[in-house]
Amino acid sequence: MTRYQGTRLALTQRQAAAILLLPFLTVYAVFLVYPFFKGVWISLHDWNLMAVAFNPDAKSYVGLSNYERVMWGSNITWGAWASPGYQFFGLLGLGTSVLLYRTGRAGKVTALAIGIASLLLFVLPGFHPGEDGRWYDRRFWPTVGNTILFVGLAVPGVTITAMLLAAALDGETRAKAVLRTLFFLSQVLSVTVVTLIWQIMFSPRQGLIANVTELVGGSPIVWLTAEGFAMASIVIATIWWSLGIAMILFLAGIQDISKDLYEAGALDNATGAKAFWYITLPNLKRTITLVVVLQIILHFQVFGQSHLMTNGGPNDTTQVLVRYIYQTAFRDSELGRASAMAVFLFVIMGGFSILQFVLGREKDQ
Amino acid sequence: MSGVTLSNVIKKYGDVQVIHGIDLQIEEGEFCVFVGPSGCGKSTLMRMVAGLEETTDGQINIGTRNVTKLDPSQRGVAMVFQTYALYPHMSVAENMGFGLKMNGFPKNEITAKVNEAARILKLEPLLDRKPKALSGGQRQRVAIGRTIVRGPEVFLFDEPLSNLDAELRVDMRVEIASLHKQIGATMIYVTHDQVEAMTLADKIVVLRNGRIEQVGAPLDLYRDPDNRFVAGFIGSPAMNFLPGQIVKGTLSVPALSDVPELTMRLPADGTRIELGIRPEHLRIDPEGRGFRLELIEKLGGVSFAYLRSGMGERLIIAEDGESDLTDDMDVGVRFDPARAFLFDAETGHRLR
């Protein structure tokens, strides 16, 4: 029996997969993988943006000296109490991770992750210039500190607010559906619109917040230019902006919890806040992990809020890493040093991505 | 321990009424089973006793207390859910002790009560496990253990065995029965399975469309059903019904060539009736005619014969397991007229 199937391409599964993946891989390689390695390569060069643009040979290989210029200084020493604020929390975290693991309240990986983060928090702030020493780049580490502070405030802020909102807005009434939409709406705005809205909100003259403080007899706070309040104000704007996705994730998590558990809880005298604490919260553990890690990765890249609302000020208190990278690269034309900082940021975010990946796979103990 | 009294209990969802004025007295220590087809309101009625559904009208008393408006936790009831509803993040011991913890009992007292319940249910080796690491039967026992620990006045079981496989279901049924003997508490049990109802209950409440069809001890319902629905629902395989009519003061059933003299008083001429006979009260008469034996299922101890009359009506007959009947025989049927029931075909009421 003769068959005429020669004109039809017979693909193995592997070949078909390769063909279907090709478009994505091409885009991924050209726009992500290549620029990433190029960035690493640039970070190893003395590379002035303008000079190299006009003359491709105006760059020179300098090894790791960009990293040194950014992160190190002369006569740097290490002390256990050089920066007590951070280091105390580092030690605290270290203790917590051991305790959590010993009591079996956290898995091995979770405990290890907390432990490593805490260890870094204890070790890194301990470095400081000794006598006659100085950082080569005075602004870099304070900027990293500001970024961490921002993440440290925004992530719990978003997570807790989103979780409480989700718990409150879970249900089938029309009002709840409308409110869910409203709260999600802010998420779709661009950062320029968000910062504009909040600049008006925070305005000490006609702003809503100033009006309210005046109404209750206080004098209006100059939010965006007061050192103690500038960071708070960009954190508040950020929480408002990025609530939506977290809220949706929590709503999905809450709706995943069987209604029977709440009925069993009602019979066990666990209703209202007790039901939230003993039933909702423990069953949201996975969602909380997901939301927290996603938010950490997202908020380490904060740029617009700081750039548009406070210009990194006052006195550099809201200067954040991405804005500093941006300024170093495009204002100061120091592309090599900016790339070194970008690689540093990549390492941080890569660490959290791995953490997310590992936690997502860790089985419940 | 206390009994439960329902007085004219009504449940409406908006304009839809699902429970129509139920009056029921459950005695202290009684095992009461609500049984009926799905959608009959049996679960709703139990959930109203638990307080998980609001009572639209009427009154529910547990013991002498009117609990109609009380929160579930204040009613002194504990419930086993169909899905077990174990808290997935808590160990077996924590699951069982959670109710006491929420009610502020001291830790050592909780531990003592949990251990006692674990001993009764043979759960001791599992106390530190999470529900995920348990089999279906073990989860079921934990769910029961959770209710025992609470020491409630009334135990509620909402179709607790329907998620188990057949073999385990029988085991758990026996365990629940012996548990009731052991602690002697008032229990309300919801099921759609009349075998569970028959084997467990002191008192069966047969429900249909939100109304009570009949209340009584299992054998009373079997021997003396009030209507066609109860007669058909209780007993397995179900009762056979043959349509007929009263003609000139005698009962005429087209499927049967000669109808034996019945003991009950017959209604007026022309009344359409149904003659009900349980499979176990019918006998095959190999000499007789009028039915074709379509199929015989031989289960060993018993054989079920499926017969079809010339008019197309079907009968199931429980025969001796050793019966030498075979498929496709032409046979007749016999029965003891004292074991037959007569129902009004219009209303379904029993004619006595």
- The full set of domains in chain B, from first to last, is 4-233 (3.40.50.300), 240-351 (2.40.50.140)
Q: Which residues of A touch B71 (CB under 8 A)?
A: 266, 269, 271
Would you state the structure tokens that stand for residue A39, as one six-digit string?
Answer: 């960035």
Could you tell me which chain B residue has the CA closest to the CA of A281? B89
CB pair distance less than 8 Å for A267 and B102: no
Q: Exposed/middle/buried for B249, CB within 10 Å: 0-12, 13-18, 19+? A: exposed
Could you tell me which chain A residue has the CA closest to the CA of B47? A263
CB pair distance less than 8 Å for B50 and A267: yes
Dihedral (CA of A12, A14, A16, A19) sign: negative
- Report d(CA B94, CA A9) in Å as an integer: 61
Task: Tell whether B73 lies on the interface with A, counting CB pairs under 8 A.
Answer: yes
**How far B224 CA lies from chain A's nearest CA (Å)?**
38
What pLDDT, on a 0 to 100 scale, did the predictor assign at position A365? Answer: 40
What pLDDT, on a 0 to 100 scale, did the predictor assign at position A339? Answer: 93
- Report d(CA A274, CA A282) in Å as an integer: 12
How crowded is residue A2: how many other Cβ atoms within 10 Å of its Cβ? 3
**A–B CB contacts, 8 A cutoff, strictly below:** 59
- Report d(CA A310, CA A264) in Å as an integer: 51
Q: Which of A268, A276, A283, A364 to mutate to test the interface with B (most CBs of B within 10 A)?
A: A268
In A29-128, where does DSSP find H-type helix?
34-43, 49-54, 65-71, 84-102, 108-123
Predicted model pTM: 0.79
CB pair distance less than 8 Å for A267 and B130: no
- Report d(CA B25, CA B36) in Å as an integer: 18
Q: How many CA atoms lie within 13 A of B141 on its CB side?
A: 25
CB pair distance less than 8 Å for A267 and B132: no
**How far A179 CA lies from chain B's nearest CA (Å)?**
25
Chain segment B237-290, per-residue pLDDT in tens = 899 999 988 888 888 888 887 777 777 778 888 889 999 999 999 988 888 888
Query: Under the phi-then-psi rule, with left for phi > 0, alpha for psi from -120 to 50, and beta for the rest, what region is A159?
Result: alpha
pLDDT band at B311 (very low <50, low <70, confident <90, very high): confident
Strands B186-191 and B154-158, bridge-based pairing: parallel
B322 Cβ contact partners less than 8 Å away, ≥ 6 residues apart = none
> Which of B 272-331 lie inside 8 A of A, CB atoms?
none
- Report d(CA B280, CA B278) in Å as an integer: 5
Q: What's the mean pLDDT in B133-155? A: 91
Rounded average pLDDT per 10-residue block, chain A, 365 residues: 59 89 95 94 89 84 87 82 83 89 79 85 84 84 89 93 91 89 89 89 81 78 79 91 92 92 92 91 89 89 88 85 92 90 91 79 57
- Report d(CA A180, CA A167) in Å as an integer: 11
Task: Tell whether A227 lies on the interface with B, counting CB pairs under 8 A.
Answer: no
Q: Which of A266, A285, A364 sits opposite B73 (nearest CB)?
A: A266
- Report d(CA A187, CA A192) in Å as an integer: 12
Task: Tell whether A257 lies on the interface with B, counting CB pairs under 8 A.
Answer: no
SS3 for chain B, per residue? Answer: CCCEEEEEEEEEECCEEEEEEEEEEECCCCEEEEECCCCCCHHHHHHHHHCCCCCCEEEEEECCEECCCCCHHHCCEEEECCCCCCCCCCCHHHHHHHHHHHCCCCHHHHHHHHHHHHHHCCCHHHCCCCHHHCCHHHHHHHHHHHHHHHCCCEEEEECCCCCCCHHHHHHHHHHHHHHHHHHCCEEEEEECCHHHHHHHCCEEEEEECCEEEEEECHHHHHHCCCEHHHHHHCCCCCCEEEEEEEECCEEECCCCCCCCCCCCCCCCCCCEEEEEECHHHEEEECCCCCEEEEEEEECCCEEEEEEEECCCCEEEEEEECCCCCCCCEEEEEEECHHHCEEEECCCCEEEC
Answer yes or no: is pLDDT of B229 > 90. Answer: yes
**How far B320 CA lies from chain A's nearest CA (Å)?**
46
**How far B110 CA lies from chain A's nearest CA (Å)?**
13
> Which of A 118-177 lie inside 8 A of B, CB atoms?
none
Q: Which residues of A touch B89 (CB under 8 A)?
A: 282-283, 285
Q: How many CA atoms lie within 13 A of A132 on its CB side?
A: 0
- Rg (C-alpha) for chain A, rounded Å, is 25
Answer yes or no: is pLDDT of B337 > 60. Answer: yes
What are all long-range contacts of A219-226, with beta carbons under 8 Å and residues at least 24 apart?
A224/A199, A224/A309, A224/A310, A225/A310, A225/A313, A225/A314, A226/A314
CB pair distance less than 8 Å for A261 and B89: no
B167 Cβ contact partners less than 8 Å away, ≥ 6 residues apart = none
Q: What three-state secondary structure class fits A73?
A: strand
What pLDDT, on a 0 to 100 scale, did the predictor assign at position A7? Answer: 60
What pLDDT, on a 0 to 100 scale, did the predictor assign at position B187? Answer: 94
What pLDDT, on a 0 to 100 scale, did the predictor assign at position B262? Answer: 78
pLDDT band at B28 (very low <50, low <70, confident <90, very high): very high
Given the structure tokens 């994505």, which residue do they identify?
A24
Q: Which of B50, B73, B85 sits opposite A260 (nearest CB)?
A: B85
Task: Tell whether A363 lies on the interface with B, counting CB pairs under 8 A.
Answer: no
Are B9 and B55 in contact, with CB atoms under 8 Å apart? yes
**How far A264 CA lies from chain B's nearest CA (Å)?**
7
Q: Exposed/middle/buried for B327, CB within 10 Å: 0-12, 13-18, 19+? A: exposed
Concatenating the DSSP letter of every residue in A235-272 gives: HHHHHHHHHHHHHHHHHHHHHTS-HHHHHHHHHTT--T
Q: Which of A103, A262, A263, A267 to mutate to test the interface with B (most CBs of B within 10 A)?
A: A267
What pLDDT, on a 0 to 100 scale, did the predictor assign at position A5? Answer: 54
Residue ranges of domains in chain A, CATH in brackets: 140-332 (1.10.3720.10)
Could you tell me which chain A residue has the CA closest to the CA of B76? A267
Could you tell me which chain B residue has the CA closest to the CA of A270? B102
Task: Tell whether B97 lies on the interface with A, counting CB pairs under 8 A.
Answer: no
- Name which of A312, A313, A330 is nearest A321 in CA terms: A312
CB pair distance less than 8 Å for B85 and A274: no
Q: Which residues of A touch B150 (CB under 8 A)?
A: 268
Concatenating the DSSP letter of every residue in A107-135 gives: -HHHHHHHHHHHHHHHHGGGEEEEEEEEE
CB pair distance less than 8 Å for A268 and B102: yes
First to last CA, chain B: 39
- Report d(CA B37, CA B230) in Å as an integer: 11
CB pair distance less than 8 Å for A266 and B72: yes
Q: Which of A258, A269, A282 sits opposite B99 (nearest CB)?
A: A269
